[in-house]
Amino acid sequence: MAAPNLPLFLPVAFLLLAAAPAPSAAEKFVVGGKKNWAANVNYTTWPDQYHFHVGDWLQFNYARDMYDVVQVADAAAYDKCDASKPLVKYDRGRGFVFQLNHTGRYYFICSRGYCWSGMKVTVLVEESPAQPPHAAAPSPNAAARHGVVAWAVAAAAASLCAAVLGLPFAVWL
Ligand SMILES: *[C@@H]1O[C@H](CO)[C@@H](O)[C@H](O)[C@H]1NC(C)=O
Ligand SMILES: *[C@@H]1O[C@H](CO)[C@@H](O)[C@H](O)[C@H]1NC(C)=O
């Protein structure tokens, strides 16, 4: 009866690893991903795939002499592509790394006309998932482990029955 132990062990080990708390270190996001910061890219949905937290970084990679990065204050300026009152303006080099240092919404546009074709991005920054909340919320992981144990017991019972009945236990897993 040594054979059933291995297929049971692997998923249990995997789940225990997956349940480990995620690191809360600051992340760096390249705006636009492989498309970088450029004209004719629509950045409307790019932020949707991420969560941005205080301390994270936005990296704008762009073609020098063509584009710039301007942080504007609010949705009104963002909607109108109005760069007349920039909070931050960066147009040198080919990359701009910006730290998100507070919660709330940030607005960035390119001031050189390309904003109108979609070269603007807005991200909502949330509180950093600091260390304390992890300790306070062990229940989902514990529940998952209990579920795995119950499943493992059921699977072991099934394979034992199968072995007794002469059926291949792998069918039951
Ligand atoms: C965030 O950074 C900006 C400059 O990039 C600075 O003016 C501002 O005071 C900082 N805010 C906080 C809360 O540190
Ligand atoms: C960008 O895409 C969104 C929907 O994905 C659309 O509503 C918006 O009009 C587009 N912007 C431009 C400038 O094409």
Average pLDDT over residues 33-44: 95
Same domain, yes or no: 102 and 33: yes
Nearest protein CA to atom 4 of ligand 2, as residue: 44
Average pLDDT of span 60-80: 95
Percent of the chain with pLDDT over 70: 61
Tally of structural domains, the chain:
2
CA of 42 to the centre of ligand 2 (A): 6
The CATH number linked to 111 is 2.60.40.420
| φ and ψ at residue 58, rounded to 5 degrees | -105, 130
Quick one: pLDDT band at residue 143, thresholds 50, 70, 90?
very low
Confidence class for position 16, pLDDT limits 50, 70, 90: very low
Q: Are residues 94 and 144 in the same domain?
A: no
Q: Are 81 and 122 contacting, i.e. CB atoms less than 8 angstroms apart? A: no
Q: Which residue has the higher pLDDT, 55 or 144?
A: 55
Residue 75 identity: A
Residue 24: pLDDT band (50, 70, 90) is low
Ligand 2 atom with least separation from CA of 43? 1
Is the pLDDT at 60 greater than 80, yes or no?
Answer: yes
To the nearest whole number, what is the mean pLDDT of the chain? 76
